Amino acid sequence: MTAGGLFCAACQAEERTTQFPMIAKVKSWFEAAPARRLDFSSAHGEPSVWEVLLMFVAVSLIHVLTVCRVAHFWDAALRSYDTGQYLRLAAFIGSWGSRGGRVPYHFWGFPYAIAAVSKLLPISQLAALVTISEVSSLAVCVLLRGLYGGWVAAAFVAIHYQWVVLSVEGGSEPLFICLLFASFLAARTGRWNVAACLASLSTTVRPVGVFALAGFAIVLGMRRSYRQLAAITLIGLGVGTLYVIPLWMLRGTPFANFAGYRAEDWGPHGRPLVYPFGTLIPSYFGGFGLGWPVLAFSASWLVVLLVGTVAIWLPRNVQRFSRGRQVEALFASMYALFLISYNMDTIVLHLPRFVIPVLPLILFSLRDWIPKDRRVLWTVGALSALLASSAMVGFKNVFGFRLR
């Protein structure tokens, strides 16, 4: 039976349970799962939460020590991904727009956190950016271990070298993923208002958090919980209104972020989306002068994204995702469809990083393929740490030879 057939059958089962109490044990795909404590133990041989945290600390230390052999850590952090843009935004927000110059188009949730932490501790804004990222990454380890088990959490820590860079040198993804998966935890335990608030806050960091809110709305609508649906809608609108008011006051328009994305990322026609693969596939042949390692790395993550998303809707995983994880399944599917339809000419360069927010769900859908051998995961983690270092200080400085 197809995933669609299972989906329909589950919905029909919900109707039958109201008519025939004798089959009340049949759970609908959209039936509320009972709230229960998350399991942080190391049962069934899975890595415990402490082992996952230890792995993250060890990978981070390998990365930092390797980087510091070649460069100063804070210089490397300042060059990391979008750090410069977020620091300029934090300074702009902290001075309430009195500083001139070009204002980056990135969303303001992360810069708000940077400005707040740098004032409260007090530390430099760069140190605040790094601190937020590292603390958020530690929280993500705990969340993923509780939500999806030790093997998924350990694999997430170990498998993606860009996650190491974003966690250690800093980036918006750790804070976004922390808020996003905390909202999934709240939704799974029936705290929908908290879930909506956390998901709304994640949207101020990365706008794709709106797919989590859409997932909440779909699940509540299918359950006919219209009062709760109205409540989370009001929460989302409230957080959105509070976000755009300062943006409107300082930039002159509540749509300044989207205007920036239109000018920088969305091509000559200014459309955020095209038909699936319409921009993605041509970007691999765009003549950007990329070597085969970069193209192969990006293509491998495209395959992981597609295989993992399809696997969510296979019969075995439909049951796995029916246990209070409906929102996560919907988020992963909407996010993947968005990503393969995103209208960005250079997406080939950014795709591996864009996959990170949905990677825990992909790993959960493919968890049977994760090697259940700690030696393998720790080795992969150490390799990711070295690759992360090479991204910051050069491949030859880390491995002693050039890749191409």
Average pLDDT in the chain = 88
User: Does 280 have pLDDT greater than 60?
Assistant: yes
Whether 35 shows a pLDDT value over 70: the answer reads no
Tokens for 280, please give them.
């993605």
Band of residue 30 on the pLDDT scale cut at 50, 70, 90 = low
Spatial contact of 272 and 266, defined as CB atoms under 8 Å apart: yes
Residue 239, number of CB atoms within 10 A of its CB: 20
- Asked whether the predicted pLDDT for residue 48 surpasses 50, the reply is yes
Rounded distance, CA 188 to CA 316, Å? 20
Q: Which two tokens stand for residue 92?
A: 């702009």
| Per-residue tokens: 353 | 């990083």
Note whether 322 and 14 are within 8 A (CB).
no
* pLDDT tens by residue, 107-135: 999 999 999 999 999 899 999 999 999 99
**pLDDT (tens digit, 9 = 90+) per residue, 369-397?**
999 999 999 999 999 999 999 999 999 99
pLDDT confidence of 275, banded at 50, 70, 90?
very high
- Is the pLDDT at 28 greater than 80, yes or no? no
Give the torsion sign (CA, 97, 99, 104, 108): negative
Per-residue pLDDT at 315 exceeds 90: no
Question: Whole-prediction pTM value?
Answer: 0.88
Instruction: Write down the pLDDT at residue 4.
Output: 46
Question: Quick one: pLDDT at residue 100?
Answer: 63
Give just the sign of the alpha carbon dihedral 98, 103, 108, 111: negative
